[in-house]
Amino acid sequence: MRYDFVGVGGLAYDLVLRIDRLPITDEKYPARLIGKLPGGFIANATCAAARLGLCTGYIGWVGEDAEGQMLHDDFIGWGVDPAGLVRVPGVPSPFTVIVSDNQGHRAILLPHSPLYNIPFSNEQLAIAGDAKVVFTFPRDLKWFGQLRRVTRESGGLLALDVENTSPLQGQELRQALRLTDVVFVKHSSLSLVGVWSLRDLVTPGQWLIMTVGSSGAYGIECGMEEPILQPALPVEVVDSTGAGDCFHAAVLAARLKGATLREAMVYASAAASIKVQYYGARGGLPTRAEVEALLKE
């Protein structure tokens, strides 16, 4: 196959602000602008996968503006092939606002973009069908169904990141998850499918991983009586933005290398512990050598 890893969707630029503590009342707070940085949870993971040594590609949409050019060029800088990135005239590139405090907590604001609703082209689907693993999110059943079809036809894996803001919910989301090879969820995301236990959700042959922030992550596959707990490594957190994206990429990278679920979670925890010591969604993304060196300590 042409690619080890292809990310689909989940691309934006981030307006990153630093504040002493996250606002909790109707007051004005002084903030420091860290910068306008490339971001988006799937795109971040794609860059992380490239940094970990995988041959990566990306499928998505941006505007024909300076921000869209920045996002395109940043992919190239990370070694990601942006062959599936389409420039759309007349529409601004999507963005998010990220506010982080001195304790490592953050809030993310997600303005909607019409670029989130564009259908795949045949060329984009061909790129997805040329990957060992496709990583995306459950936008809608048609989106999911097309990606599932091309990955099954090619023998690739399909991995989903289920955020709290997932457009798919309830039975439709559960239907999609049953047909996915690797699923990443947050604890609060379980309510989107109406379950409260990982064992109620996992299906045969699937890896299901639930991240719990600074506490680490739980992972399970069929046949396990209890999930595996992988604690987060103790480090000084500078900025947690993008840590989960890095973790997800590292899990998938390890799986492609033949790791077990437990081994993949240990590897990913080490990768994320390096990532959180830097600002920005892509600042400090570790190389494979850096992760392996940390694991040997």
DSSP 235-275: ---S--TTHHHHHHHHHHHHHHTT--HHHHHHHHHHHHHHH
Q: What is the pLDDT of residue 6?
A: 99
Segment among 169-173, 250-254, 272-276 with least mean pLDDT: 169-173
Task: Examine the pLDDT at 217 and tell me if it is beyond 70.
Answer: yes
More confident residue, 268 or 23: 268
Please give the structure tokens belonging to residue 282: 């892509």
Please give the structure tokens belonging to residue 276: 């959180």
Q: What is the pLDDT of residue 34?
A: 85
Domains and CATH numbers, the chain: 3-19+33-296 (3.40.1190.20)
Using one digit for the tens of pLDDT, what is the confidence trace for 104-133?
687 889 999 999 999 999 999 999 999 999
8-state DSSP, 94: P
Confidence of residue 21 (pLDDT cuts 50, 70, 90): confident
Q: What is the pLDDT of residue 43?
A: 98
Residues of the chain with pLDDT > 70: what percent? Answer: 97
Q: What is the pLDDT of residue 194?
A: 60
Q: What is the pLDDT of residue 193?
A: 62
Q: Are 14 and 38 in contact (CB under 8 A)?
A: yes
Q: What is the pLDDT of residue 195?
A: 58
- Measured CA to CA in angstroms, residue 99 lies from 19, 66, 155, 238, 283 at distances of 7, 23, 40, 13, 16
Using one digit for the tens of pLDDT, what is the confidence trace for 56-75?
999 999 999 999 999 999 99
Q: What is the pLDDT of residue 24?
A: 76
Q: Specify the pairing of strand 182-186 against strand 32-39.
A: unpaired
More confident residue, 236 or 247: 247
C-alpha of 145 from chain center: 19
Q: Are 87 and 66 in contact (CB under 8 A)?
A: no
Task: Examine the pLDDT at 182 and tell me if it is beyond 90.
Answer: yes
Task: Examine the pLDDT at 273 and tell me if it is beyond 90.
Answer: yes
Task: Examine the pLDDT at 187 and tell me if it is beyond 90.
Answer: no
Q: Are 160 and 193 in contact (CB under 8 A)?
A: no
Most confident of 21-30, 72-81, 102-111: 72-81
Kindly tell me the burial class for residue 217, based on how many C-beta atoms sit within 10 Å of its own C-beta (0-12, 13-18, 19 or more): buried
Mean pLDDT across the stretch 246-261? 98
Alpha helices in the chain (DSSP H): 41-51, 66-78, 122-128, 141-154, 170-178, 243-256, 261-275, 288-296
Q: What is the pLDDT of residue 7?
A: 99
Residues of the chain with pLDDT > 90: what percent? Answer: 65
